Amino acid sequence: MAYLLKGVSILGASPTDLYIADGVISDKPVDGAEVIDAAGLVALPGLVDVHTHLREPGREDAETVDTGSRAAALGGYTAVCAMANTSPVADTAGVVEQVWRLGREAGLVDVQPIGAVTVGLAGKQMAELGAMATSAANVRIFSDDGFCVADPKLMRRALEYVKAFDGVIAQHAEEPRLTEGAQMHEGEVSTRLGLTGWPAVAEEAIIARDVLLAEHVGSRLHVCHVSTAGSVEVLRQAKARGVRVTAEVTPHHLLLTDELAAGYDPVFKVNPPLRTRKDVEALRRALLDGVIDVVATDHAPHAVQDKECEWSYARPGMLGLETALPIVLSVFGPQWDLIADRMSIAPARIAGLDGHGGDLTKAGTPANLTLVDPSVQRVVDPAELASRSRNTPYAGMTLPGRIVATFLRGEATVLDGKAVK
């Protein structure tokens, strides 16, 4: 199928005609191309998420590779990295290949499996990182996300191991002794609500340790869901010294604060927890100045019984794929170059996903892109989400931006705001 995006604005530039044929951007008119009236629409390189929980295998009641892929495409994504905290854990070549194959079958986004760092995410014994790296899934990112690789010797060995093939360890930075029993951010609000707090230093201490380990080994570290102003300062110093560290921030940490816990609605329970206004502002500045490299959703679907219960019993995590771009647009406005870099180009580079995050003005670039209508305001209705779960913290909120179409290697996965298959 060939397409002509008529009058499209590439990253906010003046309107032009963009042709897609044979899976790539074409610089000459293509006969018989299907014409899409793209006046007023902005083309972005397809979004790439380095932190998605797809829940398959094991919790198909919360999400599957298929439903999660659909949510991703509808959110403007063309690639997602699937976290390893499934059941069984993605700690062998067999499981990562299964997830990779399910992604291919769904065919809506490129699903790039992340492998566990330790067997069963138990933090005791290194998983077979090499076998996962050389498997069909071609794993490059390893993470025990959900848990921190707390043992410094294991962390060091993992960093050393992946250096051989330029892999990266993505750390969920949480010193477990400092977060025992934690229910929310430790501060004024937790004191008032009588909930045990997760102190900012539990995150910052691990990041400080890990940038030193990464520096010592000369290997690549990626920090998941950075949530505090202090973490930003640790990262700023490490980057200034040339440490090979990258970092992500979630849409919810860019917008929401710990005050939301006051209603005890578990939809706002997440790890790391929502922090303070001061943290939110520091994270926004860090994304703007590049100390934080990417926006990652940490899309964390949960079944109703795991979320609609008493706060302390509820699982942490919130949906993200279908609302990420609207949230980022609402926070930063139409800064298209920034959005393209932090949500597509930089994440594709971190994940080693060639073909994503390409230059849409160049002929021959793989046609992975999304078309956004920034003029539309939409109310988030959980019932309309493609995800199998409903735990969005944005229900009822009016957000800017509608994903009109998404293309994966030149094939439409979303047209007119609807998934094609």
Ligand X SMILES: NC(=O)N[C@@H](CC(=O)O)C(=O)O
Match 């929980």 to its residue by tokens: 53
Task: Return the residue of 172, 209, 302, 342 that touches Zn ion, per CB under 5 A.
Answer: 172
Closer of 143 and 413 to ligand X (Cβ): 143
Distance CA 274, CA 318 (A): 11
Three-class DSSP category at 89:
coil
The residue annotated as part of the active site, out of 49, 258, 298, 341, is 298
With CB under 5 to 8 Å by kind, the binding choice for 99 among Zn ion, ligand X, none is none
Show the site string, 106-145: x = touches Zn ion by CB under 5 A, - = not: ---------------------------------------x
3-state secondary structure 199-265: CHHHHHHHHHHHHHHHHHHCCEEEECCCCCHHHHHHHHHHHHCCCCEEEEECHHHHHCCHHHHHHCC
Of 324, 350, 164, which Cα lies nearest the Cα of 246? 350
Q: Closest separation between CB of residue 147 and ligand X, Å?
A: 8
Of 153, 168, 293, 156, nearest to 220 by C-alpha is 168
Which of 73/321 has CB closer to Zn ion? Answer: 321
Give whichever of 62 and 129 is closer to ligand X, judged by the CB atom. Answer: 62
298 is known to lie in a ligand binding site: yes
Number of residues that bind Zn ion (CB under 5 A): 3
Taking the complex as a whole, how short is the minimal distance between the CB of residue 307 and ligand X, in angstroms?
A: 10
Question: Which helix (H) or strand (E) segment is 5 a member of?
Answer: strand 3-10
316 binds, among ligand X, Zn ion, none (CB under 5 to 8 A by kind): ligand X
Please identify, using beta-carbon distances, which residue of 156 and 172 lies nearer to Zn ion.
172
Alpha-carbon distance 85 to 148, whole Å? 12
Q: Does the annotation flag 271 for ligand binding? A: yes
The three-state DSSP-derived secondary structure of 177-213 is: HHCCCCCEECCHHHHHHCCCEECHHHHHHHHHHHHHH
Q: Which residues bind ligand X (CB under 6 A)?
A: 53, 85, 145-146, 172, 270-271, 298, 300, 315-317
91 is catalytic: no
Residue 83 C-beta: closest distance to Zn ion, Å: 8
Judge whether 55 is annotated as a binding position. yes
What do you get for the CA distance between the two ends of the chain, in Å? 15
Least Cβ distance, residue 192 to Zn ion (angstroms):
26
Catalytic residues: 298
> Which residues participate in the annotated binding site for substrate?
53-55, 85, 271, 302, 316-317
